[in-house]
Amino acid sequence: MLSWILLGFAILTEVIATVSLKLSDGFTRWLPSTVVVVGYLVSFVLLAKLLTRDIGLGIVYAVWSAVGVALIALVDVIWFGERFTGVQIAGLFLIIAGVSALELGAKG
């Protein structure tokens, strides 16, 4: 259970860093730029710690990247006013389905 909590924090810090990357305006704004560096650093430290635990690398990376992509897409729609097409929404569902298949396959 602790492993999944660590993974959740790693994802959250990565998403915060990625959103801050957009807000940094090409690293010309110091506060969002600082959040980018600290956020990615914390995220990778958490991932490194997590990989010493009981979840395999493939599962960790699949969940981290897929959930991160989905959250960033939602932030883009909600916060930055981006519009999604049906194909993009279907793509997000396919990503979720693919990660779910990886997780289910690892347990079987």
Q: Over the stretch 10-36, which tens digit does the pLDDT of each residue have?
A: 999 999 999 999 999 999 999 999 999
Radius of gyration of the chain (CA): 15
Range of the domain at 20: 2-107
Give the Cα separation of 91 and 108 in Å (integer).
Answer: 25
Note the pLDDT tens digit of each residue in 39-77. Answer: 999 999 999 999 999 888 888 888 998 999 999 999 999
Per-residue model confidence as pLDDT tens digits over 80-100 = 999 989 999 999 889 888 888
Give the span between the Cα atoms of 80 and 100, in whole angstroms.
Answer: 28
d(CA 43, CA 17): 9
Question: For the chain, what is the domain count?
Answer: 1
DSSP code per residue over 82-101: ----HHHHHHHHHHHHHHHH
Task: Report the candidate in 65, 67, 51, 56 with the shortest Cα–Cα distance to residue 103.
Answer: 56
pTM of the model as a whole: 0.87
Q: Specify the 3-state DSSP secondary structure of 5.
A: helix
Residue 30: the pLDDT is 97
pLDDT attached to residue 108: 59
Closest CA to 3 of 73, 62, 51: 51
